[in-house]
A and B are shown apart, each in its own frame.
Chain A
């Protein structure tokens, strides 16, 4: 038993922390949030150069394959920024291609993901929003060796920035009768519009007579559900780690504010109602942190992960959201001033709440495991 980071993980954490304080201070991130793309290409390039995008990719495709916990450490540090950008979307796409791609597809895409020259994402949900395979209704027409796509994918993270969109299509009547297409966004008929509002990087992707060759199928027709599930599950704890980093930052900000802000002649952190907000905040933070890192550890050590991952995602989505709510109770008016920075986290706590399934979805998956769940020590 050892809950400390390894030396290598400490170095990784330090590298990202250094990068954030040097290149991505909060003032810079506040400006970025208001730009059209919402992230910095330069930061993206740096992440690629430093190898943060290839940590789960095998060495033969240019990755370092260092493991999930190492990648989790990097994602936590990015989330603490919070550094915006298509980091998670691209790593998720890499996991799907790793799981379902043929050799040529892996060679083509994984090498470019690993070195940061390809931005990729997954498009699942549609205007009738629901997470999961049942929500995939976009059915293609077939013309010879091509699929013709007409329709819309909604709430696609980083769709507006992506070079490649792994697009889920309906190819049969059973919920799991879906297929995946590797859609190059430069082809005619594909357009993306970033969704404004209390969102982060969600986009709407529209297909108008977009012609995609059948050679762009990732995996076999109607036979991708299992591989997609495996890849989604593996990537989920990295998204959780990103949120843990954000919740940690909100905790740090709130403690500091409780010391600095004086009302009625005392620092507000001396008032027990204010203290209670931070007490609840740190319980959410630590619940998120340890469920996430245990899931990562289970993945790295080949243990049963299903329950741990669903738990981590439910706890972390709730946890980040509540951490921000409590942070706002501590900060009151100051917290909602854009230039203070707290709302960068709050925005992500909302935008990522439902990413890869909202807490209710993951608790339902956990519930379905109850008849057969085995405890580790049984």
Chain B
């Protein structure tokens, strides 16, 4: 076994290349990362990464990806993570997950036309899954797409969508046969966000789900007789549930991660800097116990992430691992906020400019850990998925296989 990527001299050279490239291109951010000025810097970084194929490192070069191997990709992820940057460096859920779905299910023409703008960072794409009537019961969507000549007419409403700084494309699940059999009446569309009849309105929520730069606001998206060209339907009419398995598998954590949950190192740093009774807080035995709780949760999260990353990228047969990682992250997030609250007391809750020492991070996390319980499927949905994948109460033949994943 090898829990660390092993690096060839070529890969070490690649690391140097990435490091020095990031020295020149990583944005300098001060203040709110979602502010228009800062967000524009992250978008520019996305385009710069996209130029080199680094925005979508493992996707085929012909569609704007990097065509890179597993170990090289790890180097890139590590170097981004070292600077507290992610790939992509801003909220692009529809591009990330829709892009993967199009790679598997799109026609050649669709791959040629839809993927390069995503993989080169030219567009931002949101995913639209939840509707007022369809949350955990995703297949129960009542957003309808009705064929009309060369177009589909889309009507409906999606909620908890997107981010704070505008959008170019909407990756959307619709119902294309209201009378059809459940799971066989759905279709996916990649819809330009500027089509007539689309209205986007911000929601007033407790906080964001910690989904990265530009994810601070969630929106309601209304479709009112939106005319969408038929070539925007991806994966075949009424085949949407099959496509969803690819998308959801990645969203449920099967993609894995090689980065560390930063909350342990942050908490440790603050506990070393702050004082209690004239001594560093970290020397207090109760404080140490809280740090151990955070350490334990974040280490297990990291290990589940590494396992899934390795399984996904080396095409191992995955079953329950994605939803397990997702479930654990959601629940341990709440535990970590409790430990932070005990560790730092009421400081955990304030973002007051003078009183707060965390630049807003602690208050934001107390909220985002709660918000994060639902995106990508509630914690309960993750457990339902695990049960099916493990085959509890089901014969081997009835056991649900994981969706096809790529990259």
Instruction: Please determine whether chains A and B interact with each other in the same assembly.
Output: yes
Contact: B383 with A290, CB < 8 Å? no
Q: Taking the complex as formed, is A253 at the interface, i.e. its CB lies under 8 A from any CB of chain B?
A: no
- Residues on B with beta carbons closer than 8 Å to the beta carbon of A366: 292, 295
Contact indicator per residue, chain B 116-149, by CB within 8 Å of chain A (1) or not (0)? 0000000000000000000000000000000000
Closest to B289 in A: A367
> Which listed residue, B2, B291, B303, B393, touches A290 by the CB 8 Å rule?
B303
* Complex interface: stretch among B19-27, B200-208, B228-236, B278-286: B278-286
> Which listed residue, A279, A291, A307, A368, touches B300 by the CB 8 Å rule?
A291
- Residues on B with beta carbons closer than 8 Å to the beta carbon of A287: 300, 303
Closest to B303 in A: A290
Instruction: Select the residue from A258, A266, A296 with max chain B CB neighbours within 10 A.
Output: A258
- Residues on B with beta carbons closer than 8 Å to the beta carbon of A363: 289, 292, 296
- Residues on B with beta carbons closer than 8 Å to the beta carbon of A307: 295
Closest to B81 in A: A377
Residues of A within 8 A of B (CB): 1-6, 69, 255, 258-259, 266-272, 274-276, 278-279, 282-283, 286-287, 290-291, 293-294, 296-298, 307, 311, 314-315, 363, 366-368, 370-371, 373, 375, 377-378
Contact: A2 with B1, CB < 8 Å? yes
Closest to B301 in A: A287
Name A's interface SS: helix
- Residues on A with beta carbons closer than 8 Å to the beta carbon of B386: 275, 279, 282
Known: A2-B314, A366-B292, A370-B282. 18 other contacts (CB 8 A): A1-B4, A1-B74, A1-B310, A255-B391, A269-B392, A270-B393, A279-B386, A290-B300, A291-B299, A291-B300, A291-B303, A293-B3, A311-B296, A315-B296, A367-B288, A371-B283, A373-B268, A378-B265
Contact: B383 with A279, CB < 8 Å? yes
Instruction: Report A76 CB to chain B, min CB distance, Å.
Output: 12
Q: Taking the complex as formed, is B197 at the interface, i.e. its CB lies under 8 A from any CB of chain A?
A: no
> Which listed residue, B6, B258, B383, touches A275 by the CB 8 Å rule?
B383
Q: List 28 A-B contacts (CB under 8 A).
A: A1-B3, A1-B5, A1-B258, A2-B310, A2-B314, A3-B1, A3-B2, A3-B307, A258-B392, A259-B392, A267-B393, A269-B391, A269-B393, A270-B393, A272-B387, A276-B383, A278-B387, A283-B324, A283-B328, A290-B304, A291-B300, A293-B1, A293-B3, A311-B295, A311-B299, A367-B289, A375-B264, A377-B260
- Residues on A with beta carbons closer than 8 Å to the beta carbon of B280: 371
A-B contact count (CB 8 A): 138
Instruction: Report A344 CB to chain B, min CB distance, Å.
Output: 23
> Which listed residue, A4, A6, A259, A375, touches B393 by the CB 8 Å rule?
A259
Q: Taking the complex as formed, is B182 at the interface, i.e. its CB lies under 8 A from any CB of chain A?
A: no
- Residues on B with beta carbons closer than 8 Å to the beta carbon of A69: 1
Contact indicator per residue, chain B 350-372, by CB within 8 Å of chain A (1) or not (0)? 00000000000000000000000
Complex Cα distance, B311 from A377, in Å, reads 22
> Which listed residue, B296, B303, B327, touches A294 by the CB 8 Å rule?
B303
Name B's interface SS: helix
Closest to A275 in B: B387
Q: Taking the complex as formed, is B320 at the interface, i.e. its CB lies under 8 A from any CB of chain A?
A: yes
Q: Taking the complex as formed, is B71 at the interface, i.e. its CB lies under 8 A from any CB of chain A?
A: yes
Contact: A4 with B1, CB < 8 Å? yes
Q: Taking the complex as formed, is B395 at the interface, i.e. its CB lies under 8 A from any CB of chain A?
A: yes
Contact: B390 with A371, CB < 8 Å? no
Closest to B320 in A: A282
Closest to B286 in A: A367
Closest to A293 in B: B1
Q: Taking the complex as formed, is B306 at the interface, i.e. its CB lies under 8 A from any CB of chain A?
A: yes
